[in-house]
Amino acid sequence: MVKSVNEHSLIDVYLQTQIKEVHGTVGNFTCKLADAQGKETEVSYGTAIIANGGESYSPEEYLYGEDPNILLSLDLDQEIMQNTDRLRAVSTAVFIQCVGSREPERPYCSKVCCTHSIHSALTLKELNPDMNIYILYRDIRTYGEREDIYREARLKGIRFIRYEMDDKPRVEKKDGRLRVTVKDQVIKMHVEIDTDILTLASAVIPRDDNHVFSELFKVAMTQDGFFMEAHAKLRPVDFACAGMFVCGLAHGPKAIDEAISQ
């Protein structure tokens, strides 16, 4: 797809480029671009779509960064794709959900992480059906048809343990291994799990440069730092100003199928 975009006669791709100025109205916009060497180019266009994506939250909690066996969901994807020796040796894997999401400073749900973790857990089960897998969650939000993989995970023996916001799991290193302690809300007792890897389902966060785009294109942002549509139901991909649209994670956390339909 990248190749076909790069080779398309009607598409110009500018990489390593900054937008310096934006002028005009719908159907007749111009913007000034500057490349890495400072060389400026002016581009005329009729409409603009802001689709600059989002980022993954880098946790300060759960010992992230202090042990190589503590991963983020995207790191685990890489391990799975490369089928690493470490992964093949894993006998127990733990996932902690809502890391950085649904907190006072980031009250929104990141929407993709429940599905992502369950999907990864099922892949680990395929690699090693005997692997013990625990998913520690606050709520499972596998909405729509994603509910099917939640059901499948339950059937395949992946264990789900619910924790409370005010009694989060604790992670410590014990005799060279990671130990996760969590209060199981069903039996009302703390459970200790010694694990080989711990995957943190970290929040989707807005990009730092969103405020730059917001000022350049005169478009609104939400309190969470994503871009705000004109009307959530009637104009869900338009900005309030004519000729400007938003798509994907720039607009807020969403799964790839939702971004594609936008």
- Least distance to ligand SF4, CB of residue 60, Å: 17
Q: Which residues contact 48 (CB under 8 A, 6 or more apart)?
A: 29, 217, 243, 244, 245
Is-contact 235 190, C-beta < 8 A? no
- Residue number, 18 or 222, with CB nearest to ligand SF4: 222
- Residue number, 141 or 251, with CB nearest to ligand SF4: 141
Q: Which residues sit at the interface with ligand SF4, rule CB under 6 A?
A: 97-98, 101-102, 109-111, 113-114, 139, 141, 201
Buried b or exposed e, range 17-49, using 16+ CB within 10 angstroms: eebeebeeeeeebebeebeeeeeeeeeeeeebe
- Least distance to ligand SF4, CB of residue 111, Å: 5
Q: Residue 102 is encoded by which pair of tokens? A: 């649904």
Report the C-alpha gap between 175 and 66 in whole angstroms.
Answer: 15
- Least distance to ligand SF4, CB of residue 98, Å: 3
- What are residue 90's phi and psi, to 5 degrees? -75, 130
Q: How many residues does the chain have?
A: 262
- Residue number, 20 or 162, with CB nearest to ligand SF4: 162
- Least distance to ligand SF4, CB of residue 2, Å: 29
- Residue number, 20 or 111, with CB nearest to ligand SF4: 111
- Least distance to ligand SF4, CB of residue 141, Å: 4
- Residue number, 42 or 164, with CB nearest to ligand SF4: 164
